[in-house]
Amino acid sequence: MPTVVLIRPGCTDFDKYERIQGTLDLPLNEEGEAQVKDLLPKIENSGIETIITSSSEPARSTAEQLGENLGVPVKEKEGLKNLNQGLWQGLEYEEVRRKYPKLLKQWTESPETVCPPEGELASEAVKRVEKTLQKYLKKKQNFAIVASEPLATIISCLLRNEQKERISFEHSGRFCQNEMFEILESPPKKSDSKQVNSDDQSEKKDSQQDQGSHDEKWRFEEAK
């Protein structure tokens, strides 16, 4: 039952000026570098054994700094490349709102149904993220994911077992905010539950009935 720490990179100048980054490579700015340093003591006791990230900036440099200080390996995965937002990349959010008001509203509320001009559908990103994470979720090793927005929101929704059609980007813009990570803990696998004795199973069943479907999802905690 791995614990997953989902980490958003430190901010860039695009975050500072509220521009859409998408797949563009941008370095951490001074504030972003400070954010990564401040993050270290908050996650050092999370039991992270591996960090996976994309080959793009600023996710890669954030992951490398964390991996070096935590003493854990960092692995680049193409499946964690940020969502391609096409012609919107490089534009300020306000500019996109002016040019594509209806399309942007639909994209933020139901991204699986809308593709930014020359960009990527969120549903396509979901498939590659699921394929990438499958191997790591089967292991019992705790790991961290460093991913930029809006891909981080997609990963968060998937790990909390939310239905894909409920993915929303309405609150995914985290321009230089300090809420950089989430801790998600998986529920027991079916194979694990077979090892529980009958008394424990009965107690677990009663507890699940009291708490409803919440216990079937990942434990979600947004760290501040």
Residue 2 has a pLDDT of 86
pTM: 0.79
Residue 212 lies inside a defined structural domain of this protein: no
Residue 164 lies inside a defined structural domain of this protein: yes
Dump pLDDT digits (tens) for 94-136: 999 999 899 888 888 888 788 889 999 988 999 999 999 999 9
Range of the domain at 35: 3-185
The CATH number that applies at residue 120 is: 3.40.50.1240
- CA 168, 67, 127: angle at the middle one, nearest 5? 35
Please answer whether residues 54 and 82 qualify as being in contact, where contact means their C-beta atoms are separated by less than 8 angstroms. Answer: yes
Q: In this prediction, what percent of the chain has a pLDDT beyond 90?
A: 52
Residue 219 lies inside a defined structural domain of this protein: no
Residue 176 has a pLDDT of 61
Please answer whether residues 83 and 22 qualify as being in contact, where contact means their C-beta atoms are separated by less than 8 angstroms. Answer: yes
